[in-house]
Amino acid sequence: MPQPRILIVDDEPDLCELLTITLQRMKLDSRSVGSVAAAQRILKSEPFDLCLTDMRLPDGDGLGLVEWMQSHAPSIPVAVITAHGNMETAVRALKLGAFDFVSKPVDLTVLRKLVGSALKLSDPTDGDTGVYGPRLLGASRSIQSLRELIARVARSQAPVHIFGESGTGKELVAKLIHESGPRRGAPFVPVNCGAIPTELMESELFGHKRGSFTGAVADKKGLIPAAEGGTLFLDEIADLPLHMQVKLLRVIQEKAVRPVGEQQEVAVDVRVLSATHKNLAQAVAEGRFREDLFYRVNVIEMRVPSLREHPEDVEELAASVLRRL
């Protein structure tokens, strides 16, 4: 089996050397180029399993290369290397189709996880091609389009917000995104934000240390750390209290949580999917949902149609229900 090949696009010799050495230690083959034009030429002529590109290049930027690859090399995942703290650029890259991002100075542990996840996209897995068929029922055009969108967003690590009326299957869509992507072997942790009492929410999500409050008789792992390596699904995210929205924003930005009573943050690697039946943009306008969090969780937006929008699927759905009775 040939070694996976990684294309590095960067004009900084020190960073290229660091990335090359790291990839070599992972038993991966790499090739480096220093410009957008050189990257485009080599991507047209040679096969690669992943592209790592810096944002600032002599003849353009990483965003332009990400956009170009979506039409010229769509099967190759591309990750961008951003300046520290520049979440706006990272979000723009994810919206354009980037698989993921890593910030400077490059954390090699984060980089290795990113590369590992990207390479799983090309791994053949039994049953992948039919994962939606038996579970997301329907042959209508709207359901076919939803299946296609699930397949596309499953290849990314970008946060996805799923909206639709109650009962349309938003959690099923989230689960299919998880099971169709590189995190499929790790936990899928659903959280109903409207079902957790406000006073317990921080402990439930982040965990707590023994003795941190009355009744904390043992250490407890939170739901976010429990999703390590996998997917955290925040259902009814519009019901999240404002003080918890601030804490969730930090988790997404810093990729770390601090359990109640703990002095240090703990690194977490999770993909965040969210859903609601409410109008999240309206909640922002009314001051009930933070605008900065809205833009972090709503990088990719998916709408799940109600059944009245695809009545031609009623017969198939009814037959499925009857078979289970």
| CATH number for 61 | 3.40.50.2300
Q: Looking at the structure, tell me whether residues 188 and 290 fall in a common domain.
A: yes
Q: Looking at the structure, tell me whether residues 185 and 303 fall in a common domain.
A: yes
Q: Looking at the structure, tell me whether residues 50 and 157 fall in a common domain.
A: no
87 is a domain residue: yes
What SS3 class is residue 244? helix
256 is a domain residue: yes
pLDDT of residue 196: 95
Phi, psi dihedral angles at 266 (to 5 degrees): -115, 125
Q: Is the dihedral of CA 241, 292, 86, 98 positive or negative?
A: positive
Tokens read off for 139: 């042959």
Domain boundary among the residues 122, 149, 167 is at 122
**Rounded Cα gap, residues 122 and 321, in angstroms:** 35
**Rounded Cα gap, residues 94 and 158, in angstroms:** 6
Q: Looking at the structure, tell me whether residues 107 and 225 fall in a common domain.
A: no
Q: Looking at the structure, tell me whether residues 169 and 279 fall in a common domain.
A: yes
Tokens read off for 50: 């992943």
Query: What single-letter amino acid sits at 62?
Result: G
Residue 314: which CATH number?
Answer: 3.40.50.300
What stretches of 180-289 show up as alpha helix (H) in DSSP? 198-206, 223-226, 242-254, 280-285
Q: Looking at the structure, tell me whether residues 158 and 23 fall in a common domain.
A: no
132 is a domain residue: no
41 is a domain residue: yes
Q: Are the beta carbons of 223 and 211 closer than 8 angstroms?
A: no
Q: Looking at the structure, tell me whether residues 24 and 170 fall in a common domain.
A: no
pLDDT of residue 127: 38
pLDDT of residue 216: 77
Query: What is the count of structural domains for the chain?
Result: 2
Q: Looking at the structure, tell me whether residues 113 and 167 fall in a common domain.
A: no
Going residue by residue through the chain, which has 325 residues, state the pLDDT in tens, using 9 for 90 and above: 678 999 999 999 999 999 999 999 999 999 999 999 999 999 999 999 999 999 999 999 999 999 999 999 999 999 999 986 678 898 999 999 999 999 999 999 999 999 999 998 865 443 344 444 447 888 899 999 999 999 989 989 999 999 999 999 999 999 999 999 999 999 999 999 999 999 999 999 999 888 788 777 788 899 999 999 999 999 999 999 999 999 999 999 888 999 988 888 989 999 999 999 999 999 999 999 999 999 999 999 999 999 999 999 999 889 988 988 8
Q: Are the beta carbons of 58 and 50 closer than 8 angstroms?
A: no
Q: Looking at the structure, tell me whether residues 208 and 239 fall in a common domain.
A: yes
Q: Looking at the structure, tell me whether residues 254 and 204 fall in a common domain.
A: yes
156 is a domain residue: yes
**Rounded Cα gap, residues 190 and 175, in angstroms:** 9
Tokens read off for 184: 């499929």
Domain boundary among the residues 63, 89, 122 is at 122
Domain boundary among the residues 122, 151, 174 is at 122
Q: Looking at the structure, tell me whether residues 59 and 201 fall in a common domain.
A: no
211 is a domain residue: yes
**Rounded Cα gap, residues 318 and 281, in angstroms:** 34
pLDDT of residue 126: 37
Q: Looking at the structure, tell me whether residues 74 and 20 fall in a common domain.
A: yes
135 is a domain residue: no
244 is a domain residue: yes
For 242, the domain range is 141-324
